[in-house]
C-alpha cells in the first residue's frame, strides 16, 4: 500500500505519550485535504489542529490503559520500567530534551520548553480512535511527492530509518502487524524483531508466553507480566467485565479480531492462538501458540 507523506511537528507538553503514540501537528494544515480512507475515517483533531500518531507495526507496553465497558473506571498498566523505557527512547529518537520535563502520577508530561520536534510522517490509514497510522522519520527522506503524485512506496531501506524500526531493533516494543503493511516490509521488521530476541534486549529479557492464573484473578495481577499488549488489553477487559480465564477464548471469539496466521497460512480469529488449560481446581494455564510476529491482524 502506498503512503501519503505529511510534514509536521510532534510535541509532549500536557500530553501522555507512550512508546507508540505521539501528538502531531501538521505543517500548512489549512491547505491539507484528507482523502477518504478505507473505512471512511478521518483523523481526530483537537482545537490546535493536533492529532495523534499511532506508530505502524509496533505496540508498546501500556503505561495507562483504561479498561473498556467497565464502571467504575479501571486503569491498569504493564511493567512501568519497560513501558517508560520505550516511551523515553521514543522521545530521545525524536530529539526531545528530557532533562527539564516532569511527569505527574497520571503520566501526563509538563515540558517547560514547549518543544516541537520536526518529523515526516508516512501514513496509510486512520484507526478507530482517529489516530494517523504510519512510520515516523526524523531525517529528511527526500520523498518525491506532489499534487499529481501524492503517495510513495516505502522501501525496506526507508522503513529501517524510521523511529518505528529503531524501537523494534532495540527490543523495546512488540511487533504488531496489520493487513495494510506490504509483506516485504513486514519481513524486514520481523528480522529486526528476531535479532532483538537473540540478544535479548528490553522486553525480550522478561517476555512471557505462558502464565498461571486463578480462574478469576485480581485484574492488578496482570500488571506484573510482560506479555503482548494486545493480549493484555483483551485479557484485562474480559476480567474487568467479570469474566474468567476459563471462558476467555469464548470472549475472544465474539470480539471478531480476524487474523492471518502466516505460519500455517490461514485466516482465523485471535482466539485460535490463545490456549487455556485447567491444571487444578481453581488454577488455569494460559499461553499463546504463536509468536507476535507470526500474526497479521486484518484491521485495527
Q: Where are the domains of the chain?
A: 3-157, 208-297
- Beta strands at 258-261 and 102-103: parallel, antiparallel or unpaired: unpaired
CATH architecture label of 3-157 = Beta Barrel (2.40)
pTM for the full predicted model: 0.95
- Asked whether the CA dihedral 235, 209, 177, 264 is positive or negative, the reply is negative
pLDDT range class, residue 27, cuts 50, 70, 90: confident
| Beta-bridge mates of residue 295 | 261
pLDDT of 39 above 60: no
Instruction: Residue 120: name the closest of 140, 91, 93 by CA.
Output: 140
Arithmetic mean of pLDDT over the chain: 93
Tell me if residue 125 falls in helix, strand or coil. Answer: strand
Nearest to 171 by CA among 55, 235, 86, 285: 86
Q: Are 62 and 78 in contact (CB under 8 A)?
A: yes
Helix-helix angle 229-240:248-255, to 10 degrees:
110
Q: Which residues of 159-184 are buried (b: 16+ CB within 10 A; e: fewer)?
A: bbbbbbbbbbbbbbbbbbbbebbbee
Confidence label for 44 from pLDDT (cuts 50, 70 and 90): confident
CB 51, CB 45: distance < 8 Å: yes
User: pLDDT tens across 156-199, in order?
Assistant: 999 999 999 999 999 999 999 999 899 999 999 999 999 999 99
pLDDT above 70: percentage of residues in the chain: 96
Task: Give residue-wise pLDDT tens across range 79-93.
Answer: 999 999 999 999 999
Give the end-to-end CA distance of the chain in Å, rounded to a whole number.
15
Amino acid at each position: 500500500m502506498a503512503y501519503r507523506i505529511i510534514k509536521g511537528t510532534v510535541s509532549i507538553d500536557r500530553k501522555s505519550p507512550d512508546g507508540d503514540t505521539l501528538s502531531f501537528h501538521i505543517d500548512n494544515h489549512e491547505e491539507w485535504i484528507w482523502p477518504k480512507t478505507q473505512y471512511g475515517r478521518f483523523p481526530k483533531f483537537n482545537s490546535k489542529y493536533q492529532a495523534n500518531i499511532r506508530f505502524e507495526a509496533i505496540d508498546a507496553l501500556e503505561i495507562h490503559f483504561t479498561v473498556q465497558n467497565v464502571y467504575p473506571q479501571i486503569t491498569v498498566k504493564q511493567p512501568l520500567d519497560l513501558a517508560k523505557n520505550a516511551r523515553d527512547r521514543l522521545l530521545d529518537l525524536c530529539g526531545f530534551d528530557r532533562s527539564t520535563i516532569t511527569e505527574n502520577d497520571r503520566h501526563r508530561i509538563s515540558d517547560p520548553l514547549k518543544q516541537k520536534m520536526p518529523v515526516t510522517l508516512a501514513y496509510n490509514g486512520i484507526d478507530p480512535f482517529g489516530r494517523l497510522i504510519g512510520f515516523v522519520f526524523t531525517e529528511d527522506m527526500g520523498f518525491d511527492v506532489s499534487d499529481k503524485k501524492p503517495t510513495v512506496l516505502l522501501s525496506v531501506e526507508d522503513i529501517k530509518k524510521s523511529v518505528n524500526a529503531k524501537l523494534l531493533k532495540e527490543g523495546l516494543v512488540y511487533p504488531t502487524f496489520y493487513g495494510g503493511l506490504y509483506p516485504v516490509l513486514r519481513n524486514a521488521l520481523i528480522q529486526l524483531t528476531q535479532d532483538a530476541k537473540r540478544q535479548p534486549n528490553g522486553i525480550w529479557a522478561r517476555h512471557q508466553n505462558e502464565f498461571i492464573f486463578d480462574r478469576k484473578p485480581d485484574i492488578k495481577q496482570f500488571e506484573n507480566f510482560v506479555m503482548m499488549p494486545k493480549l493484555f488489553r483483551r485479557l484485562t477487559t474480559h476480567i474487568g467485565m467479570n469474566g474468567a480465564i476459563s471462558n476467555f477464548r469464548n470472549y475472544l471469539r465474539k470480539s471478531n479480531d480476524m487474523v492471518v496466521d502466516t505460519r500455517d497460512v490461514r485466516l482465523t480469529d485471535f482466539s485460535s492462538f490463545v490456549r487455556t488449560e485447567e491444571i487444578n481446581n481453581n488454577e488455569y494455564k494460559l499461553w499463546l501458540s504463536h509468536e507476535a510476529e507470526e500474526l497479521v491482524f486484518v484491521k485495527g
